[in-house]
Amino acid sequence: MPKILSQRSALILIVIAQFLGTSLWFAGNAAAPEWELILGKEGIVPMLTSVVQLGFITGTFLYALGSIPDRYSPVDVFFFSAVLASLSNLLILVLPFSYASLLIFRFLVGFFLAGIYPVGMKIAADYFEKGLGGALGFLVGALVLGTAFPFLLKGLGITISWKIILFSTSFLAILGGALIGFLVPNGPFRKSNPKFDLSLLPKLAKNNSLKASAGGYFGHMWELYTFWAFLPALILALTQDSVSASQSSFWTFLVIASGGVSCALGGQIALRKGSKQVALFSLIGSGLCGVILLIFPGVSGFWVLPFLLFWGLLVTADSPQFSTLVAQSVSPEHRGTALTLVNSLGFGLTIVSIYLTTWLIAELDVRTALGLLAIGPAVGISIFFWFKNSKN
């Protein structure tokens, strides 16, 4: 392992490793059509997505409870988590195939992803005492592009065997873990916190700066994954079913991928304007997109794709900047715990938001239900300013 690594080299390796490691996240969604045929069971995608999310929520909470990213080398945590996530993914191939085993191993994939996504941000924070917003912009942007990739394959009509999907994503995740484990040393600004302290989480809960940043992040998360989950349905509704399934998938790819670009661009803007300004501008802007959809539910024709692209740009750009604010709100020896805990709670909210929106769609319609996502940014902004103006 090298003793010295430049910020630029470290960031490039972390971004690549993060992208490779998180390829496991939506591998199940890409393989789902074949699994439905094998199992003779339709509509398993929502459950597959939910168990990975639940695994991630459980994993991040336990990693945070044990202060794993701060008590141990985050580089080692990333490496071993990537290996264990990959093995969990491969066990679907090795052991007798059933719906129950599929859900169990996808849950475990999500569990060990807790040592990849937030811990990758922790490693980046250990390299960037200044300019963290720009670094996390690239990091989260890579994850967003990975999220969009399956929709590109579907939009282009490319089908890949589920076994190849599992083998390839597991290999990529192990490769990502190896890049971090063998090529990236712990950052120069890392401060370890070797002791186990059960009182740490209650102490963090008293930090108003952390609560303000987390509140903004929660408002963002209430909107983000639900918007992505129902984006294909929204496209069909706004175009009045005038686009084909492949076109809808390709449009979905463009909208989600635009968020990856905005994360990177927003990070560069944050270097000059500050993470707070970028995060709040993006959160307010995405919330206003929801309001526009409520006021003008008949957005149609030429304006559908530009409107959704604009929403896609704004709905994601605040994520790395709120994470930057979270990291900056605590002492260096607690950054890993804070980032992991906030991720856990934020992803927990996504499940509530998705299921509530599912019910609203059945009662109202997809345009109104997604327009009401504006409540998330509104509450997030309110929490942010409430705690920012309060004293610890």
Share of the chain above pLDDT 90, in %: 59
Q: For residues 118 and 336, is the Cβ–Cβ distance under 8 A?
A: yes
Q: What is the pLDDT of residues 377-392, one digit of tens each?
A: 999 999 999 998 876 5
pLDDT at residue 333 in the model: 85
Q: Is the pLDDT of residue 178 over 70?
A: yes
DSSP 175-238: HHHHHHHHH-PPPTT-----S--TTHHHHHTT-HHHHHHHHHHHHHHHHHHHHHHTHHHHHHHH
- Which of 83-92, 328-337, 358-367 holds the top average pLDDT? 83-92
Of the pLDDT bands very low, low, confident and very high (cuts 50, 70, 90), residue 1 is very low
**In whole angstroms, what is the distance from residue 253 CA to residue 345 CA?**
27
CATH number at residue 110: 1.20.1250.20
> What is each CA distance from 80 to 149, 175, 176, 258, in whole angstroms?
25, 12, 11, 32
**In whole angstroms, what is the distance from residue 124 CA to residue 140 CA?**
11
pLDDT at residue 192 in the model: 75
**In whole angstroms, what is the distance from residue 41 CA to residue 23 CA?**
25
> What is each CA distance from 362 to 355, 357, 365, 368, in whole angstroms?
11, 9, 6, 11
What is the number of domains present in the chain?
A: 1
Supply 88's token pair.
């969990």
170 part of a folded domain: yes
Domain that holds residue 259: 7-388
Q: Is the pLDDT of residue 307 over 80?
A: yes
**316 or 2, which is more confident:** 316
Supply 125's token pair.
């924070």
Q: Is the pLDDT of residue 2 over 60?
A: no
pLDDT at residue 194 in the model: 66
343 part of a folded domain: yes
**In whole angstroms, what is the distance from residue 264 CA to residue 45 CA?**
29
Supply 296's token pair.
């003008």
pLDDT at residue 33 in the model: 82
2 part of a folded domain: no
> What is each CA distance from 139 to 158, 181, 204, 268, 329, in whole angstroms?
27, 17, 25, 12, 19
361 part of a folded domain: yes
Which residues lie below 8 Å from residue 218, measured CB to CB, with a gap of 6+?
345, 346, 349, 376, 379, 380, 383
Query: For 149-158, 222-231, 341-350, which range has the lowest pLDDT when averaged over its residues?
Result: 149-158
**In whole angstroms, what is the distance from residue 63 CA to residue 102 CA?**
24
**In whole angstroms, what is the distance from residue 307 CA to residue 48 CA?**
30
Query: For 123-127, 240-244, 307-311, 346-350, which range has the lowest pLDDT when averaged over its residues?
Result: 240-244
Of the pLDDT bands very low, low, confident and very high (cuts 50, 70, 90), residue 3 is low
Burial environment of residue 118 by CB neighbours within 10 A (0 to 12, 13 to 18, 19 or more)? buried
**In whole angstroms, what is the distance from residue 158 CA to residue 183 CA?**
34
258 part of a folded domain: yes
1 part of a folded domain: no
pLDDT at residue 196 in the model: 59
Q: What is the pLDDT of residues 333-372, one digit of tens each?
A: 888 889 999 999 999 999 899 889 989 999 999 999 999 9
Length of the chain: 392
Share of the chain above pLDDT 70, in %: 97
pLDDT at residue 389 in the model: 82
382 part of a folded domain: yes
pTM for the structure as a whole: 0.89
Q: Is the pLDDT of residue 303 over 90?
A: no
Q: Is the pLDDT of residue 375 over 80?
A: yes
Average pLDDT over residues 204-224: 93
